[in-house]
Amino acid sequence: MQYLLLLYLDEKAMMNLPREEAGQLHGAYMAYVEAMTKGGVLLANHGLRPTSEATTVRAPGGKQSVLNGPFAETKEQLGGYFLIDVPDLDAALSWAARCPGAQHGAIEVRPVWG
């Protein structure tokens, strides 16, 4: 079954990490990706650019509205994702708990329709 692991974090805090700490975090993510790849569960993953580069589109009643930037003030922002294929929710939760982002924010685990 496919699950999306959505990484929520304080992007300002992440962008202001000291160089050494940012390097260590990058290394932790690389090791995580390698473990997922070796485990045969990783289908796709990407980090997302900052919310300041986001565009939000709404079309209530067919009338299009475009808003630059984030649409809500939140403490944590969606910073990236991992799409995985695992046997069940317990396996997905296990992978989510191992994600380096779980130490700095939250990992939302969502099953994919299909």
Task: Name all domains of the chain by residue range, CATH numbers in brackets.
Answer: 2-111 (3.30.70.1060)
The average pLDDT across 19-30 equals 96
Q: Tell me the C-alpha distance between 111 and 106, whole Å.
A: 16
The one-letter amino acid code at 24 reads Q
* pLDDT reading at 70 higher than 80: no
Q: Tell me the C-alpha distance between 77 and 9, whole Å.
A: 5
Name the DSSP class of 23: H
Report the pLDDT value the prediction gives residue 56, as an integer from 0 to 100.
87
Instruction: Describe the strand order of the beta sheet including 106-111 as a list of residue ranges.
Output: 42-47, 77-85, 2-9, 106-111
* pLDDT reading at 100 higher than 90: yes
In tens, the pLDDT along 25-68 reads 999 999 999 999 999 999 999 999 998 898 888 899 999 999 88
The average pLDDT across 71-76 equals 73
Average pLDDT, the chain: 93
Higher pLDDT, 48 or 75: 48
* pLDDT reading at 98 higher than 90: yes
107, two tokens: 């990992």
Is pTM beyond 0.95? Reply is no
Residue pair 76/4 in contact (Cβ under 8 Å)? The answer is no
